[in-house]
Amino acid sequence: MEEGKGGCITIEDAYDMLYMHIHREDITYKGKKYKKSFYFKDGLKCLTKIKVAQNEESAKDYMEGLIESNYIYLLNNTQNTNEIICRFHKDSPDHGHQPDKSKTWSLVLKQAKGNPFISLKGITDFKEKCPFVTSMYLDQYNCKLYDAIRPVEWVDPIPEGPYDVIIIGAGMGGMTAAIKAVQHNFKVALIERSYMGGEHYNTGMITFNVLEHCAEIIQKLNEAQTLGLEISKDTWKLSMKKVMEQVRQKRAHIAPEFCSVFSFTDTYGVDLYLGNAKFIGPQTIIVNSKILQYSKAIIATGSQLTIPKLEGLSDVPYYTIETIYNMTKRPNSLVIYGWGQVACAYAQVFQRMRIDVTLLSEEKKLLKCATSEGINKYTEHTLKYLGVKVFTGVTIIGIDNNKEGKNVSYAISVDVKGVKYVINCQAILIATPKTVGVLFDS
């Protein structure tokens, strides 16, 4: 039995008495709603009033003891002691939880003897349970990221009665919808089959902007040569391992702040299911064998990555826009097969990192959705100005492992408007536009 630092009543007794006497309510703070909570300052007053503590100082000691002993936890992050909000662990509604906090991705990595490209088979039954979780690469940064957005183990809540709103997909769209629905006092369920945060936080703007920032630095160094900065071609070296580490580090810093599973369950009180949702009847969804009823459903499933069927592609390693951030070695040459904004964006970024980029677009226009022909011309012109070799209206004839060239790994045979070429490269990135698709059985 532990005694409160400030008095002779034990922490256990202080907890029992505070639990019995303090008034709990739903508190809204900075747009977030904290259910069954109370202010820290009211905890102090209550402890003094019920004579557990003799004064505010000893009440503070008791409150700190209750927090240390895990009876109470703090819900918001503020320096202002008048605004600190607390909740009893006992009062936490189960919106889904991690059963064993010690089972982290770092532990999985340790068991895999530090190999980041781990086969999850045999280590956990994660891969079997979560077939939609793709491209796991474990390093210290991704371990931190995955612990927040896709824990090793997750126990879905037990559905009680119908939901006002069920949202399928926890990307930018689904997460925003869930927060808004909570703010309207709706009973909300959010379902995600892969990573919380979707494209935006995992492989979209957040990661891309960091990569682009790196490219900008490198380009500036190149430009500085006109001012007399000497960078010899022979000694010029860029560690792609370090660049991608930077990207993963920044992502691990940003994403958990906005899309951790715990912020949705603990802070917003959303019921979170991690699994594949399917409609099985009127106003009925099934996820991980649990049947959920709803009044309204929001489909926020985004778009899906589809790998084009290209002759020989399945026989060679290639990156996609989801795996590119796992790149460990800088290739001298890169072929990007794709069109649209994302393919063009990657082409300019890698070219600025002094990688010899060739962009192969099946479409005649790089940006199909551009409203004017001028935008297409401008984009193509800019890419070419940077040094990207751009081919439009391309048909891929086949992709082979290149056994002849010294530094070249792959040979891509193409037909460009009736003329045949072979393009050699050290790496391939598939960046075809994602397909809008709601993949439901019924």
Binding site for ligand FAD (CB under 6 A): 168-174, 191-194, 198-200, 203-205, 208, 276-277, 300-303, 321, 342, 345
Name the minimum Å distance from CB 192 to ligand FAD.
5
Name the minimum Å distance from CB 151 to ligand FAD.
15
Name the minimum Å distance from CB 247 to ligand FAD.
11
Name the minimum Å distance from CB 292 to ligand FAD.
12
Cα–Cα dist 331/334, whole Å: 7
**Contact assessment for residue 300 and residue 189, using Cβ atoms and an 8 Å cutoff:** no
Q: State which residue, 205 or 422, has the beta carbon closest to ligand FAD.
A: 205
Residue the block writes with tokens 């371990």: 143
Tokens of 433: 């536009």
Residue 296: how many CB atoms within 10 A of its CB?
Answer: 12
Q: State which residue, 27 or 206, has the beta carbon closest to ligand FAD.
A: 206
Name the minimum Å distance from CB 243 to ligand FAD.
15
Helix (H, G, I), strand (E, B) or coil at 412: strand
Name the minimum Å distance from CB 175 to ligand FAD.
7
Name the minimum Å distance from CB 426 to ligand FAD.
22
Helix (H, G, I), strand (E, B) or coil at 378: helix
Percent helix, strand and coil across the chain, each to the nearest 5? 35, 25, 40
Name the minimum Å distance from CB 302 to ligand FAD.
2
Name the minimum Å distance from CB 287 to ligand FAD.
7
CA atoms within 13 A on the CB side of 402: 17
Q: State which residue, 175 or 335, has the beta carbon closest to ligand FAD.
A: 175
**Which ranges of 316-391 does DSSP label H, i.e. alpha helix?**
340-352, 373-386
Query: Distance from CA of residue 207 to its chain's centroid?
Result: 10
Q: State which residue, 6 or 169, has the beta carbon closest to ligand FAD.
A: 169
Name the minimum Å distance from CB 82 to ligand FAD.
37
Q: State which residue, 194 or 333, has the beta carbon closest to ligand FAD.
A: 194
| DSSP structure string for 135-157 | ----SHHHHHHHHHHS-S--BPP
Q: State which residue, 4 or 340, has the beta carbon closest to ligand FAD.
A: 340
Q: How far is CA 147 from CA 95, 144, 256, 257, in A?
A: 17, 5, 9, 12
Q: State which residue, 112 or 286, has the beta carbon closest to ligand FAD.
A: 286
CA neighbor of 403 nearest in space, from 311, 310, 313, 316: 316
Residue the block writes with tokens 């810093």: 253
Q: Are strands 163-168 and 85-88 parallel, antiparallel or unpaired?
A: unpaired
Q: State which residue, 79 or 371, has the beta carbon closest to ligand FAD.
A: 371
Q: State which residue, 27 or 210, has the beta carbon closest to ligand FAD.
A: 210
Report phi then psi at 34, rounded to 5.
Answer: -110, 110
Q: Which residues is 166 bridged to in the sheet?
A: 189, 297
Residue 118: how many CB atoms within 10 A of its CB?
Answer: 19
Q: State which residue, 157 or 198, has the beta carbon closest to ligand FAD.
A: 198
Q: Are strands 188-192 and 271-274 parallel, antiparallel or unpaired?
A: parallel
Cα–Cα dist 370/108, whole Å: 45
Tokens of 312: 């020989």
